[in-house]
Amino acid sequence: MFYDDDADLHALDGKTVAIIGYGSQGHAHSLNLKDSGVDVVVGLRPGSDSVAKAEANGLRVLDPAAAADAGDVVMVLVPDELHGKVWDEIKGGLEPGNLLLTGHGFSILYGLIEPPQDIDVALIAPKGPGHMVRRQFLEGSGVPGLIAIHQDATGSAQRIGLAYAKGIGCTRGGVFETTFKEETETDLFGEQAVLCGGASELVQAGFETLVEAGYNPQMAYFECLHELKLIVDLMYEKGLAGMRYSISNTAEYGDYTRGKRVITDQTRAAMKQILAEIQSGAFAREWIAENNAGQESFRRMRAEQAGTQVESVGKDLRSQMSWIDTAFHE
């Protein structure tokens, strides 16, 4: 693990950092680096809604190609599926000895970006969403992060990468050294099997089981979705054992005796198959093909899920909870 004392922000002295994209991570990285005294330029296409937002925050905005040309360090923070197209726009601006950064290893590992041999290539990945990266920075703390070096043409990739990580606040929480392969494959697996795919399907299945049995949909929502945050917060703060210590004995006994009836050997086998598809590149090829085909299936699935009962019930209930900020989603 690397912390503040292991990173020297002066490694970025005299350098310009170009952030390509101004979404969740892009805005947080740009503003944190600016507040850390780093010269920052944001790369956005003319006409993007984000141009006005970035300029209102006191940031210099150029089109992506010009931003990359101005940058000594270029961080690509657009969605994975856009990396190939963006790379075609910016690669001419990277000079020998520049550092190319990504926030996720997908595009390098699966060949959407094929960098020349005369530049440094590294990954800096905060382990939290952009709003948390920004908020914790302002509070004086920081979201932990990952660093990986894919290519070290100059011998300075780690030193400059750690300076970048310090500039966005990650070394305050600790930066763990990994590889592009490990970061990408574990990240995809976590998203698909546990954090997003697994959790979403479990919540929806539980909700539908109660509703189909005749229970009030609002009660089903509270039990299977709303209260999930309480349990996850306990896990986050105290681990599984600490969570179990904090719940009732009845809930703890139900955990031990019923959990494995939900997550069965068949479920574990499916997890291993999901991991195998990630490791072989099958998932990456599927996702790339989906994007090349215009995202038709992806958009259809998104629309179908937005129309489920758990969504409509939840939207109504959340509108009555003044303490929940629903603006981002609704």
| Separation between Cα atoms, residue 93 and residue 325, nearest integer Å | 41
Catalytic status, residue 104 = yes
Under DSSP, the state recorded for 2 is B
Q: Which is catalytic among the residues 104, 131, 226, 329?
A: 104
Distance CA 101, CA 151 (A): 11
The residue count of the chain comes to 330
Q: Side chain identity at 96, as an amino acid letter? A: P
Nearest to 169 by CA among 36, 13, 21: 36
Tokens of 126: 């905060």
Written as one letter, the residue type at 216 is: N
Interatomic CA distance for residues 43 and 76, integer angstroms? 9
Strand order in the sheet with 175-177: 60-62, 39-43, 16-20, 73-76, 99-102, 120-126, 145-151, 175-177
Host H or E run for residue 122: strand 120-126
Name the burial class of residue 35, with classes exposed (0-12), middle (13-18) and buried (19+) by CB atoms within 10 angstroms of its CB. middle
Which element (helix H / strand E) includes 60?
strand 60-62
Locate 90 and state its tokens. 């910016």
Query: Which amino acids are annotated catalytic?
Result: 104
